Amino acid sequence: MSKKFLSIENLTLIGIVFGVLLGYYIPEIAVSIKFLGDAFLNILKAIAIPLIFASVFVSIATLSSISDLKNIGGKAIAYYFTTTALAVLTGIIVVNIIGFGSENINPKTVNETVHHKFTIKSFIESLVPDNIFKSFTEGKVLQIIIFSILLAVATLYLEKTKKQTVVLFIDGLNDALIKIARWIITLTPIGVFSLVAYVVADKGLGTILSLWHYVVVVVIGLLIHAVFNLGLIAYIFGKINPLKYFLQVREALLVAFSTSSSSATLPVSLEVAEEKAKIKKKVAGFVLPLGATINMDGTALYESVAAMFVAHLYGIDLSLGEQIIIFLTATLAAVGAAGIPSAGLVTMTLVFTAVGLPLEGIAVILAVDRFLDMLRTSINVWGDLIGAKIIDRFVKEQ
């Protein structure tokens, strides 16, 4: 077999297919090899946190000026918000056009409730670190990013030798972490195989069928956003062929799919962005870590569809005004969601509370959440990678 065929990307794809088959036909074995997937996920998570710190630091500390930071930062934030809003809008339009059909689920019989509640106040409080070491050990990504930006900006003001020492050290650390990421990537096919096999064995494909109307609407919405919206944006603003770019970065999308975590995927996203797509380190190092935490198109779209689905189940008619509230809160809730599995489910309480939907409605969609999480996380990462490519075009090499 040719070497090209046996690339990591293709082996990963094969891993997913065999994972589904194993999980479906021999679930006992799928469960017993879960530790392989867990080990893969853990090592990715282990390097993700220091990598987020180092890459954000390096990308800012190597900029020539603060106005350069404003330039990249401003563009990134503008991109995140427009694409997230576009995603929610797509979700709402798809629901209004396709609708949900008639599900035979009686929400009153479900009495599981979601306990955590997400509010804007708690989100803003969570941005400020009180002990930076605690932020690291607890994996508080936004706090780490804020600290890293502060430290990098402060470093820009240091006298030359001190500045060089700090930057060289953290830059070296960053390169070494990327090297580890490259090693871990060679293990992706096995990790992905085990993770997917376990999800299928644990959740079963049957649950997906029971909520298929809802699943289909989410999937169609995600596909439209990924292919048309983001594809067109990449073509127009990034002057790239989205299909070619997709093939270059697909390893990151496959890892996102199987881990359901944008943060755990970050080491792989950074590697493919810099090595395969040749995006400048200072752009990728800033746009991707920040994007992995605040830019979640898939999550935003999913949350709006989920809210409208639950309203539909409870026989609640949503007015245009309420749909606008869903639009606004789903955008915010996606920004607030951490890049970890099921985070969107927690921040969705914000959307539900805003339009007065019963929180226990979330329990109905729990059954298919993991599967939809895999898809929305891939779209989240795809949105980050397109953003990095577009912004790269506008930032000059020094």
Q: Rank residues 240 and 249 by Cβ distance to ligand ASP and give the closer one.
A: 249
Single out the segment in contact with ligand ASP by CB under 6 A; choices: 166-174, 222-230, 370-378, 390-398: 370-378
Q: Rank residues 271 and 373 by Cβ distance to ligand ASP and give the closer one.
A: 373
Give residues 248-267 in contact with ligand ASP (rule: CB under 6 A). 260-262
Nearest distance from C-beta of residue 359 to ligand ASP, angstroms = 17
Q: Does residue number 377 form part of the binding site for ligand ASP (CB under 6 A)?
A: yes
Among 31, 386, 387, 337, residue whose Cα is nearest residue 197: 31
Locate 213 and state its tokens: 């109307």
Rule CB under 6 A: choose which of 337, 355, 362, 385 binds ligand ASP. 337
Is residue 382 within 8 Å of residue 253, measured between CB atoms?
A: yes
Q: Rank residues 167 and 352 by Cβ distance to ligand ASP and give the closer one.
A: 352
Locate 275 and state its tokens: 């090595």
Q: Does residue number 301 form part of the binding site for ligand ASP (CB under 6 A)?
A: no
Nearest distance from C-beta of residue 32 to ligand ASP, angstroms = 25
Locate 100 and state its tokens: 């949900």
Q: Does residue number 15 form part of the binding site for ligand ASP (CB under 6 A)?
A: no
77 CB-near residues (< 8 Å, 6+ apart): none
Nearest distance from C-beta of residue 282 to ligand ASP, angstroms = 24
Nearest distance from C-beta of residue 13 to ligand ASP, angstroms = 21
3-state secondary structure of 199: helix
Nearest distance from C-beta of residue 190 to ligand ASP, angstroms = 21
Query: What is the Cα–Cα distance from 240 to 135, expressed in whole angstroms?
Result: 38
Single out the segment in contact with ligand ASP by CB under 6 A; choices: 71-79, 231-239, 283-291, 369-377: 369-377
Nearest distance from C-beta of residue 322 to ligand ASP, angstroms = 22
Q: Rank residues 22 and 198 by Cβ distance to ligand ASP and give the closer one.
A: 198
Is residue 245 within 8 Å of residue 234, measured between CB atoms?
A: yes
Rule CB under 6 A: choose which of 15, 23, 91, 344 binds ligand ASP. 344
Q: Does residue number 379 form part of the binding site for ligand ASP (CB under 6 A)?
A: no
Query: What is the Cα–Cα distance from 289 to 115, expressed in whole angstroms?
Result: 29
Query: Which residue minimizes CB distance to ligand ASP?
Result: 344
Query: What is the Cα–Cα distance from 131 to 125, expressed in whole angstroms?
Result: 13
Angstrom CA distances, 48 to 207, 310, 344, 348, 353, stand at: 32, 35, 20, 25, 33
Query: What is the Cα–Cα distance from 135 to 128, expressed in whole angstroms?
Result: 10
Nearest distance from C-beta of residue 343 to ligand ASP, angstroms = 4
Total residues binding ligand ASP (CB under 6 A): 16
Q: Does residue number 380 form part of the binding site for ligand ASP (CB under 6 A)?
A: yes
Query: What is the Cα–Cα distance from 23 to 366, expressed in whole angstroms?
Result: 20
Rule CB under 6 A: choose which of 83, 188, 269, 299 binds ligand ASP. 299
Is residue 290 within 8 Å of residue 335, measured between CB atoms?
A: no
Is residue 330 within 8 Å of residue 99, measured between CB atoms?
A: no
Question: How would DSSP label each residue in 20-62?
Answer: HHHHHH-HHHHHHTHHHHHHHHHHHHHHHHHHHHHHHHHHHHT
Rule CB under 6 A: choose which of 22, 61, 290, 340 binds ligand ASP. 340
Binding site for ligand ASP (CB under 6 A): 260-262, 296, 299, 337, 339-344, 373, 376-377, 380
